[in-house]
Amino acid sequence: MASDSTILGAAGEHYAMCQLLRRGMIAALAPVGVPNADIVVTDQIGDRLCALQGKARREIGSDGGWHMKPKHEELSSPSLFYCFVDFRAALTDQPKCWVIPSAVVAQALRSTHQAWLSMPGKKGQPHKDSNVRRLLPHYKVLESQYPLGWLDKYYEAWTLLDEVMAPP
């Protein structure tokens, strides 16, 4: 039986697919096991190509963020984007979605994680590194760079894909 997080992830991918197809892009789920892309996107004649990695969440937990891994600190390509979907608390709530270039995500994860590691823990002890990263709508550790609202410019920013997909 599939886990709740697997089903939620699939819902996020299909939400992104719906948005891409509505905008006239050709989108298909990548084969299972492709490590860095969930959706492959092209134009109608196959000249332009980009990829999306989907991340989905429900409104649980207090930080409003998405689970990430250390690999996402290094994953950066001009043609790779993330689609962060927040399905919110109730099934009747409209999903919210942010489309963010992979370079922006990598930089945010890398810099905020390094800042967190350099700060002492609650009892003054050094933080221990782990395989957990979070993309957050607000980072207290680097608030000057990532204040509340830093994600706003990426809200429903599907036009970022248009820029990559545009003919030269």
What are 105-139's pLDDT values in tens digits?
999 999 999 999 998 888 888 888 999 999 999 99
CA distances to 40, 95, 97, 115 from 31, rounded to whole Å, are: 10, 25, 23, 36
Residue 3 has pLDDT above 80, yes or no: no
Span 33-45, pLDDT tens digits: 898 999 999 988 8
- pLDDT band, residue 103 (cuts 50/70/90): very high
* CB 80 within 8 Å of CB 55: no
* CB 157 within 8 Å of CB 98: yes
In this predicted structure, what is the pLDDT of residue 91? 83
Residue 164 makes CB contacts below 8 A (sequence gap 6+) with 48, 50, 78, 79
Give the H or E element holding residue 49: strand 49-57
Query: What is the pTM (predicted TM-score) of this model?
Result: 0.91
* CB 97 within 8 Å of CB 19: yes
In this predicted structure, what is the pLDDT of residue 145? 94
Domains of the chain: 4-165 (3.40.1350.10)
